[in-house]
Structure 1
Amino acid sequence: MIDLKALRDDPDTARASQVARGADPALVDQLLAADERRRSLLSAFEQQRAEQKELSRSIGKAAPSEREAVLGRAKQLAEQVKDAEAQADAAAEELDRLLWAMPNIIVDGVPAGGEEDFVELRQVGTPRDLAAEGIEVQDHLAIAEGLRAIDTERGAKVGGSRFYFLTGIGSLLEMALLQWTLNRLVDEGFTPMTTPTLVRPEIMAGTGFLGAHADEVYRLAADDLYLVGTSEVALAGYHSNEILDLTDGPVRYAGFSACYRREAGSHGKDVRGIIRTHQFHKVEMFVYAPIEEAEAEHERMLAFEEASLTALGLPYRVIDVAAGDLGSSAARKYDCEAWLPSQQRWLELTSTSNCTTFQARRLGIRERTADGRTRPAATLNGTGVTTRWLVALLENHQQADGSVVVPEPLRPYLGGRELLEVVR
């Protein structure tokens, strides 16, 4: 939720943010009008209620000849107060509806436009020339099937399309990635968390996932619960309606969970293998920070993601995501995309978002400052690692005989294994 006072003080920034997102700037004016109406009606209600109280106190003092008239006036005023209260409540509800519909205001420098309007910030690493090495490029699924690491056929038999089994070395490789990432995050001051994968509607809505992309979320109607697509949701709800002490610095969590996404609207897109699936595992970084430290924390999480990709020998690029491709909660988002040899394109492996105080306002999360005041905290999130990283690892480290070189940092988690070899 945006800061209503800031909107009143500077509506032009909010209008510009809406335009950059490709959204309707008229929503800002609707909000301002609704806010003005609510304040006006609330003032009228409070004035009439004060008059009602004053009149009530005068009833006992009224002369017998005047009492009937005073009682009549009191009854009339009571109806007026009731009506004024109903109008003020309705105006408050309308303002609240508009506030929940308004996406976060982007920070300075975010590119305007849609999905294709991102700005590439840098490329790191050089993709291998596999043909020059005498390697006939295979995609991750062909490699994995040779290693008996992924079984999509039986995954579809059990769960339907876009489900899979990680088998043998595939399962071990995923666990190695997850554990390696968690250990490094602990060293960086993150508290590891295993989070719920089912959350209440108010938590899902509070994080901003029930807006334009609600059709991506699985809902269990019988229990009125939602399956999370990222542990960001549970970690954002962890401190809902609490006051945090951030005077010693940001609070950082590393959440592990299974994640579920309906992939609505992606029919025919990335149907082969495990690039786009309904279920996967993920380690997610989540940070509560004073708003003044939010941008620095954002850069810190991006640096961790880049260090991970570099350590695993994956060529990648960093993009500054355009405003129209941001979720409703994000004020800025950076993606890291690894090179995918089989398709000669970049594949998103990480995202990290600065949500400023948007989620905190919706979830009632505040911080107590050094001078004793309370105010909304900033929240940030970022990918530690996901199952999808297996795609990039298998393809970028493939060998001519179908084997795969294990990146050095993962070897201790695989019993020292240096090479994943084809199962004959």
Structure 2
Amino acid sequence: MIDLRILRESPDLVRASQIARGADPAIVDTILEADAQRRSSLAEFESLRARQKSIGKDVARAQGDEKARLLAETKEIAAQVKELNQAQSEAQERLNDLLFQVANIVEGAPSGGEADFIVLRHEGQPRDFAAEGFEPRDHLALGEGLKAIDTERGAKVSGSRFYYLTGIGARLELALLNAAVDQAVAAGFTPMITPTIVNPKIMRGTGFLGAHADEIYYLGADDQYLVGTSEVALAGYHSEEIVDLSNGPLRYAGWSACYRREAGSHGKDVRGIIRVHQFHKVEMFSYCTPADAQAEHQRLLAWEEEMLKKCDLPYRVIDTAAGDLGSSAARKFDCEAWLPTQERYLELTSTSNCTTFQARRLGVRERVEVDGRQETQTVATLNGTLATTRWIVAILENHQQADGSVRVPEGLRPYLGGLEVLEPTA
């Protein structure tokens, strides 16, 4: 939820953010009108409530006809107070509903849609397979040769976009995720195994029940949701709490299964394990002071890049356009690895600065000193991918050899017992 005070004081800032996202700026005026109505209703209620309390004292002192008159007035006022209380409650509810429809205020992201990102830099050099004298295989062909990926039986058991990771495939995913956890711990993160089913309040609070709600699996019998990222559970971890940030950000690394319906992606990345309904991920999540959020965002990006370099993957970093941001993100950087067989870049990580948007919805605050007195303020939240199942796609394709074997990146070898090459199975 955006800060209502900012919307009141700088409505043009919010309008500009809406326009940059390709959203309707007219909602700003609708909210301002609803806010004015709420404040008017509240003032009227409080004025009459004060009169109700005052007249109660007069009744106690009055006698005879005067007391009867005051009692009649008290009854009339009580009915009006009840009506005004209902009116101001409804006005507050309408205002809240409108505020929940506004995405976070964009901070520095380029305007435009999915194709309007800005490339910040390239890291690493894609291999020239033609110069090496062979045509690269795609990740599924390599995975099947290694007996690492089985999509046929995944579809038989669970349907399209499901798969098994078998043998070295399962070991490779565990190696990748354990390497990510070790790196996170070394950077001061607390590792967490998080719930993958959350209640509507937490899902809504993190901003995932907006425009992309159709991506989420809903468990109607229980009124619960399957998460698409441990970000949801980690954001809810300190909901309705006052946290202590005096020693710096609170950082968590969540390992979880993730579930996505992939609604609207029919015919897109249907081969292999690029776009699937279930996968594993290690996600960084940070609670910090609003003033430190931009710097923390850069730190999360640096940790993502450190992990990519452990896997020796050529990649680029992009500044995602405003129209392609999730509703909670004020800015997002993606790291995309080169995919040789498709000659394109594939997103492997993203890191988002959600400023105070999620924490305001979820009631996460910190204590601060203002003019010598203690107050509370909403904290900032940020998230960033450290490793997912999808990384296997880039690892297999970028490190393949002519005979169908795959070189293990040096950064993962300690997690595979020192194994240097994954060999095809006859």
TM-score normalized by structure 2?
0.98
What is the deviation of 1:6?
1.5
Matched, 1:67 2:59: no
Distance apart, 1:53 and its partner CA? 1.5
Q: Which position in structure 2 is the counterpart of 1:242?
A: 241
- Tell me what 1:368 maps to: 367
Does the 8 Å CA contact 1:8/1:32 hold for their aligned counterparts?
A: yes
Aligned to 1:406: 408
Give the whole-Å Cα distance in 2 for the aligned partners of 1:199 and 1:162. Answer: 23
CA positional deviation for 1:83: 1.3
Residue 393 of structure 2: aligned partner = 391
Amino acid corresponding to residue 54 of structure 1 in structure 2: S
Aligned to 2:136: 137
In the TM superposition, 1:282-321 aligns within 5 A as 282-321=281-320
% identical equivalent positions: 66
Distance 2:134 2:311 in 1: 20
Q: Deviations over 1:350-392 (max 9, x none)?
A: 0000000000000010011256321111000000100000000
2:70 and 2:423 map into 1 onto residues whose CA distance is 95
Q: Following the alignment from structure 2 to structure 1, what is the Cα–Cα distance between the partners of residues 316 and 368?
A: 38
Contact 1:365 1:376 in 2 (8 A): yes
Most deviating of 57-66 and 386-395: 57-66
Query: Does residue 90 of structure 1 match 2:90?
Result: yes
Letter in structure 2 aligned against 1:11: P
Query: Corresponding residue for 1:175?
Result: 174
CA distance in 1, matches of 2:191, 2:65: 76
Q: Secondary structure at the match of 1:131?
A: helix
Contact 1:247 1:370 in 2 (8 A): no
- Helix, strand or coil at the partner of 1:416: coil
Residue 125 in 1 paired to residue 124 in 2?
A: yes
Partners of 1:66 and 1:187 lie apart in 2 by 78
2-side partners of 1:243 and 1:94: how far apart? Answer: 27
| 1:178-257 equivalence runs, <5 A | 178-257=177-256
1-structure distance, mates of 2:122, 2:11:
37
**Runs ≥4 in structure 1, deviation > 3 angstroms?**
none
**Cross-structure match for 2:9:** 9
Per the TM alignment, residue 57 of structure 1 is displaced from its structure 2 partner at its CA by 1.6
Q: Find the residue that maps to 2:39 and give its secondary structure.
A: helix
Q: How do 1:315-330 and structure 2 match up within 5 A? A: 315-330=314-329
Aligned to 1:358: 357
Letter in 2 for 1:406: V
CA RMSD of aligned residues (A): 1.0
The alignment partner of 2:317 has SS state of strand
Residue 20 in 1 paired to residue 20 in 2?
Answer: yes
Partner residue in 1 for 2:99: 99
What's the counterpart of residue 423 of structure 1? 425
1:51 corresponds in structure 2 to: 51
Instruction: Output the CA distance in 2 between the equivalents of 1:12 and 1:65.
Output: 58
CA–CA separation in structure 2 for the residues paired with 1:44 and 1:113 = 44
Q: Hey, what's the Cα distance between the residues in 2 that align with 1:369 and 1:53?
A: 36
* Aligned-partner Cα distance in 2 for 1:196–1:35: 37
CA distance in 2, matches of 1:340, 1:390: 11
Report how far residue 311 of structure 1 moved. Answer: 2.4
Three-state SS of the structure 1 residue aligned to 2:182 is helix
Structure 2 counterpart of 1:382: 384
How is 1:146-185 mapped onto 2 (pairs within 5 angstroms)? 146-185=145-184
SS class of match (2:233): helix
Q: Which residue of 2 aligns with 1:272?
A: 271
| Equivalent residue letter for 2:295 | A
Which secondary structure state, in structure 2, belongs to the residue aligned with residue 120 of structure 1? strand
Mapped contact 2:310–2:412 kept (Cα < 8 A): no
CA distance in 2, matches of 1:65, 1:412: 93
Contact 1:246/1:369 (8 A) holds in 2? no
Distance 2:367 2:245 in 1: 7
- SS in structure 1 at match of 2:100: helix
Give the total of aligned pairs. 423
Q: Offset of 1:275 from its aligned partner?
A: 0.1
What is the identity, as a one-letter code, of the residue corresponding to 1:149? A
Decide which moves more: 130-139 or 352-361: 130-139
Amino acid at match of 1:106: V
Cα drift, residue 62 of structure 1: 2.5
Q: CA deviation at 1:67?
A: 2.7
TM-score where L is the length of structure 1: 0.98
Counterpart of 1:280 in 2: which secondary structure? Answer: strand
Tell me, in whole angstroms, the C-alpha distance in 1 between the residues paired with 2:297 and 2:171. Answer: 31
Checking the alignment, whether the CA contact within 8 Å between 1:114 and 1:322 is kept in structure 2 is yes
* Equivalent residue letter for 1:373: E
CA–CA distance in 2 between the matches of 1:7 and 1:121? 31
Query: In the TM superposition, what whole-angstrom CA distance separates every residue of 1:41-63 from its partner, at most 9, and x where no partner exists?
Result: 10001001111111222123224
Letter in 1 for 2:65: S
For 2:60 and 2:312, locate their aligned partners in 1 and report how far apart those are by CA, in whole Å: 86
Name the SS for the 1:101 alignment partner.
coil
In structure 1, the partner of 2:260 is 261
Give me the whole-angstrom Cα distance separating, in 2, the residues matched to 1:162 and 1:366: 40
SS in 1 for 2:132: coil
Q: Deviations over 1:287-335 (max 9, x none)?
A: 0000111111100010111122122221111110011111110000000
Q: CA deviation at 1:101?
A: 1.1
Q: Distance in 2 between matches of 1:125 and 1:8?
A: 47
Q: Is the 8 A contact 2:138 2:341 kept in 1?
A: yes
Q: Which whole-Å CA distance do the structure 1 matches of 2:79 and 2:412 have between them?
A: 73
Aligned partner of 1:374: which letter? T
Secondary structure, in 3 states, of the residue corresponding to 1:369?
strand
